[in-house]
Structure 1
Amino acid sequence: MSKNFEKVKRFYDTKAWPLNWVQDAVDRWITADEYQEITGKEYEKE
């Protein structure tokens, strides 16, 4: 698990971060698999 997984999850769950911010965190703070775990959506690289 990435160092910042819990932080990103908390930000998303409390609506402090919108979905696109979580997308931006992939490969910086979290992995694509963790993105899917947090959001319930498959990560699609833009």
Structure 2
Amino acid sequence: MDWYGTIKRYYDKGLWTKKMVGDAVYVGKITTDQYFDITGEEYEVPDTVPFSVGNVVDK
């Protein structure tokens, strides 16, 4: 699956938030560079495990 392309498309359409894109970085679906390409911001490592991470891992 092309995670980067899918996540970018969803983010651009407003279906995904920056937090959701960050969750995808956290679980290894995209890189921090790809996060920057999608959001225009640097990825910041969360202090805690993202709550919605299960949604990304299960799909």
Question: Following the alignment from structure 1 to structure 2, what is the Cα–Cα distance between the partners of residues 42 and 33?
Answer: 8
Q: Give me the CA root mean square deviation.
A: 1.0
* Large movers: runs of 4+ above 3 Å: none
Q: Which structure 2 segments of 5+ residues have no match?
A: 47-59
Question: For residue 17 of structure 1, what is the amino acid of its counterpart?
Answer: W
Question: For residue 39 of structure 1, what is the amino acid of its counterpart?
Answer: T
- Scaled by the length of structure 1, what TM-score is found? 0.86
Q: Structure with the greater relative contact order (CA < 8 A, sep ≥ 6): 1 or 2? A: 1
Larger Rg: 2
Q: Which structure 1 segments of 5+ residues have no match?
A: none
Seq. identity, %: 43
Shift of the alpha carbon at 1:17? 0.6
Three-state SS of the structure 1 residue aligned to 2:30 is: coil
Shift of the alpha carbon at 1:21? 0.3
Three-state SS of the structure 1 residue aligned to 2:8 is: helix
- Scaled by the length of structure 2, what TM-score is found? 0.69
Q: How many residues are paired up?
A: 44
Question: Following the alignment from structure 2 to structure 1, what is the Cα–Cα distance between the partners of residues 28 and 13?
Answer: 21
